[in-house]
C-alpha cells in the first residue's frame, strides 16, 4: 500500500471548540448534532468531549472532536488548555439574550490570545442559537452580520430545539476545514427535519374561541 493510499484511508481529525456564555445552548447544539437528542443538561463543568464521524463529498471521511467548553471557563485558568490547537472555534450566543451576544467580544479576545502563536489559525464562526424563539429575539440579525464582518467570522443561525440549521452548520465548517465548497444539493441533503406542531381546533369552536382547551395535536415533519 502506498503512502497516499494510507493517507486516503486514515481519517482526518479536527478539533472544534464551542464557546460562549452559560445557558446559550452549547451542550444542546452538540448533543443535537452528535446524537440527535435533546435533554436537560446540567451546567457543563470544565469541558465535555464528543466525537462525530462525518462524510463530505468526495467521499472524504473525517472525525470531528468537539469540545463543549463550560460557559464560565473564559475566566478560568484552564481555558487556554481547552482552546489551544482548535481547528475551528464556534462562538455561540442566544438570540433572546443580548448580554450573551455582547459578551462574545470577551470570548473572541480570549480565543485570539490562546491561538496567537499557532501556525495555522482556526476558523471562527458566529452561531446564533434559539432561533425557534423569534418572538423573543433581542439580537437583530444586522448586529449579528456586522459583528461577523468586523471580525472575519463565518455566520450561522440554528435551533438546537428544532434542530434547524444544526447539521448544516457543522457540515459547512467541516467543509471549510478540508477546503471544499458544498454544492446546493450537498447543502440540501443536510437540512434537518423541522418538527412543527399543527393544532387542530374543532370546527364549532373555531368561530368562538381559539383558546379552547379541547384541541387535537398532530406532529408534522417537513423535509
Ligand atoms: P453551560 O453548560 O452552562 O455552559 O450551558 P450551555 O450553553 O451548554 O446551555 P445548555 O445546552 O445547557 O442549554 C441551556 C438551556 O437552553 C436549556 O434549558 C436548553 O433546553 C435551552 N436551549 C438550548 N438550545 C435551545 C434552542 O435552540 N431553543 C430553545 N428554545 N431553548 C434551547
**Cα of 25 to ligand 1 centre, how many Å?**
3
Flag whether 42 is in a domain.
Answer: yes
Note whether 192 and 164 are within 8 A (CB).
Answer: yes
Can you read off the three cell numbers belonging to residue 188?
440540501
Pocket probe mutation, ligand 1, options 20, 21, 25, max atoms within 8 Å of Cβ: 25
CA–centroid distance, 35 to ligand 1, in Å, is 16
β-bridge mates for residue 48, sequence order:
68
Kindly state whether residue 96 falls inside one of the protein's structural domains: yes
Per-residue pLDDT of the chain (223 residues; tens, 9 = 90+): 555 555 555 579 999 999 999 999 999 999 999 998 887 778 888 888 999 999 998 888 999 999 999 888 877 788 888 999 999 999 999 999 999 999 999 999 999 999 999 999 999 999 999 999 999 999 999 999 999 999 999 999 999 999 999 999 999 999 999 998 888 877 777 765 555 556 666 666 555 544 444 444 444 444 4
Give a yes or no: residue 199 inside a domain.
Answer: no
Cβ atoms of 129 and 24 closer than 8 Å:
yes
Mutate to test the pocket of ligand 1, among 18, 21, 28 (most ligand atoms within 8 A of CB): 28
Cβ contact 69:79 at 8 Å: yes
Q: Is residue 219 part of a domain?
A: no
Cα(76) to centroid of ligand 1, in Å? 21
Residue 223, domain member (yes or no) = no
State how far the Cα of 11 lies from the Cα of 59, in Å rounded to an integer.
11
Closest-lying ligand 1 atom to the alpha carbon of residue 162: 27
Span between the terminal Cα atoms of the chain, in Å: 42
CA distance 100 to 83: 19
Read off the CATH number of the domain in which 153 is found: 3.40.50.300
For residue 175, what are the domain limits?
Answer: 3-191
Q: Per the domain annotation, does 200 fall within a domain? A: no
pTM score, whole prediction: 0.83
Closest CA to 101 of 145, 160, 165, 47: 145
Number of domains the chain is built from: 1
Amino acid at each position: 500500500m502506498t503512502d497516499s493510499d494510507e493517507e486516503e484511508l486514515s481519517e482526518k481529525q479536527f478539533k472544534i471548540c464551542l464557546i460562549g456564555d452559560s445557558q446559550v445552548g452549547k451542550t444542546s447544539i452538540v448533543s443535537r448534532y452528535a446524537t440527535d437528542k435533546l435533554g436537560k443538561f446540567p451546567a457543563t463543568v470544565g469541558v465535555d468531549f464528543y466525537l462525530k464521524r462525518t462524510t463530505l463529498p468526495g467521499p472524504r471521511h473525517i472525525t470531528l472532536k468537539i469540545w463543549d467548553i463550560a460557559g464560565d471557563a473564559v475566566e478560568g485558568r484552564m481555558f487556554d488548555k481547552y482552546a489551544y490547537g482548535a481547528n475551528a472555534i464556534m462562538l455561540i450566543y442566544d438570540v433572546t439574550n443580548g448580554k450573551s451576544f455582547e459578551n462574545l467580544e470577551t470570548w473572541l479576545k480570549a480565543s485570539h490570545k490562546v491561538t496567537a502563536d499557532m501556525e495555522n489559525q482556526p476558523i471562527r464562526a458566529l452561531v446564533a442559537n434559539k432561533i425557534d424563539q423569534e418572538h423573543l429575539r433581542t439580537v437583530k440579525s444586522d448586529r449579528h452580520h456586522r459583528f461577523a464582518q468586523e471580525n472575519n467570522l463565518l455566520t450561522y443561525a440554528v435551533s438546537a430545539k428544532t434542530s434547524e440549521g444544526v447539521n448544516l452548520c457543522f457540515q459547512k465548517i467541516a467543509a471549510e476545514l478540508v477546503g471544499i465548497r458544498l454544492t446546493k444539493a450537498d447543502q440540501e441533503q443536510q437540512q434537518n427535519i423541522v418538527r412543527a406542531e399543527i393544532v387542530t381546533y374543532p370546527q364549532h369552536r373555531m368561530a368562538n374561541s381559539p383558546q379552547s382547551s379541547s384541541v387535537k395535536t398532530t406532529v408534522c415533519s417537513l423535509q
